[in-house]
Amino acid sequence: MSIEPGDDIGLEIHHGIDQFLRIESGKGLCQMGDAEDHLDFEQVVEGDDAILVPADTWHNVQNIGDTPLKIYSIYAGPDHVFGTIHHTHEDAKNDPNED
């Protein structure tokens, strides 16, 4: 996924599924917490960093850099329809198969 400066992946939670995110390039701010309005963990992330989001954890990653934030994710179980690729945040938001 490519996230433009100032944009984010969108605050989300995956019930019963861990998520691994790898930062390929760019600079982001990772936020996590146990409630949608309680993101008590914050960490700046950059190229070659990885994020592990435990199941049932609210999380977001915002691009705080000047260039696109390039990331990919792996889920501990299927969370998307087979073959799904979201090249941009806009693609993910407009996918009719997403919650």
Sheet strands (E) in the chain: 2-3, 19-25, 27-33, 41-46, 50-53, 58-63, 69-75
Question: Buried b vs exposed e over 38-47: b needs ≥16 C-beta within 10 Å?
Answer: ebeeeeebee
The model's pTM:
0.80
Indicate the pLDDT class of residue 97, thresholds 50, 70 and 90.
confident
2-93 to CATH, choices 3.40.50.300, 1.10.3720.10, 2.60.120.10, 2.60.40.10 = 2.60.120.10
Domain ranges of the chain: 2-93
Condensed to tens digits (0 to 9), the pLDDT of residues 40-85 reads 999 999 999 999 999 999 999 999 999 999 999 998 876 678 888 8
Distances (CA, A) of 14 to 27, 42, 67, 98: 23, 19, 28, 12
Give the separation between CA 99 and CA 91, rounded to whole angstroms: 13
